[in-house]
Structure 1
């Protein structure tokens, strides 16, 4: 009798464990598709983002209409080392210069969604500008969103492409500026060896790590703790796509970075929580750094809400670092 009860108990435990495993597997698959899936048919058009930028930042409207009517916005396609076809748009500076901005968009945005930052660099600062579509965004190929992690290598390739487009007998002098996931991409790149042409970085409301961001959203949107779902979803991501949430730690890349970086964040941001800013800023212990807190701004709206001050802060930081001698990595 005792042995029979013991066997029944063991069988019940096994059934419960199998059910838990199945539930976690199903939930992990759902979370991967929910957070990293972005099929072509769901992507908003270039016109959608142009209209949105005009609506949110109306001072850019005349410039945007002008550059499109005069065919100043040009397309380029390249094949990345991984084999996928990638797209970007670019604009030459109003006057010939080797100063160039590579501007990186956020989660489920596309190149045209960064035209307000292109306005800042092209119209206000007289820079050449290149705006890539990241992997699985816009007109670039791709089967999932990389959350700015493997995107760092693609942005490095786009820096090379920009140099080929805009160099006028001399290497370009580049700033790489990203917002949200684009900022996470910028920080991920900052910890790698970058060529001399990449002289400084601007990150606007980037997250400290992919795991931190997903954990924050898991709690906010679903009311769930990070463990165990975040762990199992990370395992599935590694099995499916070759990278895990645990490795995608922007804050560790910032610790390794040596080139100048400007950190920007709205103090009312709860999508990429404002609390992430301080640890990121403090993690940078090598090279110049500066910080700008956009009072009252929520996620990715610092420029919209404070465009004159934002422009001034970016201008001062970027020009001071493009014109100075620095340690290069």
Structure 2
């Protein structure tokens, strides 16, 4: 009996260890340092610091429904009701959103860039890959409408986790924008996790990692990983979506964007960039990227 007890204790310890290890990898994915992001964007000339500093902007702290503050910048160089909200990817911050913001500022939009939970200057302890982030996005939109009124022409641009966030917002909460641009989202979180497990150097059998990991995410962070899958809700989005992905992306395969594009009903467009790793479509194809946005906006504005 003592041997059986030791064996059972050993198995339980092993299972708990796997669950904690896996859930930690997701909930607390190592972020890039804020200074690193800013310096990277400056060196690449995607951020001209003097130009950014001279933009008329308002710092706004938006309360998240999950109980922490979200650091937002409302950037308003134009007298217009046209607004774009930019949502960044995991490990990044609002400085990474400036290059996308600039695309729309040049086209007469005002903009909001902000830090997701656990990133930049915002509060929050974990990353949830769109699950809690979609409620935060709604809070930012509600704040914009409270300040500027509801007569807005609103777009949302998101990269990676930010793209998933806007799709979940539109598909699960409210289809509240006039258009969406989803750059390199995953279609199904559980498939994405399994894809990443296959690429990770994890000293554990893959078949044990995922079931235990998803259970520990539920226990520790309050949601099931299968809830974070835009493919399940894409049919609810009636407004136009421009889907973007780099064909060489190995982190989130371009096939996931194709799956979302095929499932989307109603107005939609697709741009597959020939060059670029994950979240590099604009960096590697900036002129073509902007041209495809112009084509998309023209179609949206004609409707």
TM-score (structure 1 length as normaliser) = 0.84
Cross-structure match for 1:48: 36
Larger-Rg structure: 1
| Ranges in structure 1 where 5+ consecutive residues have no aligned partner | 1-6
- Label 1:307 to 1:229 Cα distance change in 2 as closer, same or farther (>3 A): same
**Equivalent position SS for 1:192:** helix
Distance (Å, rounded) in 2 between the aligned partners of 1:192 and 1:213: 20
**Equivalent position SS for 1:217:** helix
RMSD: 2.3
Contact 1:67 1:73 in 2 (8 A): no
Cross-structure match for 1:65: 50
Contact 1:136 1:143 in 2 (8 A): yes
- Label 1:274 to 1:17 Cα distance change in 2 as closer, same or farther (>3 A): farther
Q: CA deviation at 1:107?
A: 0.6
Cross-structure match for 1:100: 83
Residue-by-residue CA offset, 1:8-40 (whole Å, 9 max, x unaligned): 9xx55x75554333212102201212221168x
Q: How does 1:122-201 map to 2 (within 5 A)?
A: 122=105, 124-165=106-147, 167=148, 171-194=151-174, 196=176, 198-201=177-180
Question: Aligned match of 2:184 in 205, 210, 233?
Answer: 205
Q: CA deviation at 1:43?
A: 5.8
| Ranges in structure 2 where 5+ consecutive residues have no aligned partner | none
- Label 1:61 to 1:112 Cα distance change in 2 as closer, same or farther (>3 A): closer
Contact 1:187 1:251 in 2 (8 A): no
Q: CA deviation at 1:222?
A: 2.3
- Label 1:225 to 1:100 Cα distance change in 2 as closer, same or farther (>3 A): farther
Count of residue pairs the alignment pairs up: 302
Distance (Å, rounded) in 2 between the aligned partners of 1:91 and 1:298: 29
Q: Which portions of structure 1, spanning 4 or more consecutive aligned residues, are displaced by more than 3 angstroms?
A: 14-18, 223-226
Distance (Å, rounded) in 2 between the aligned partners of 1:319 and 1:30: 47
Contact 1:101 1:174 in 2 (8 A): yes
Question: Aligned match of 1:245 in 222, 225, 237?
Answer: 225
- Label 1:148 to 1:199 Cα distance change in 2 as closer, same or farther (>3 A): same
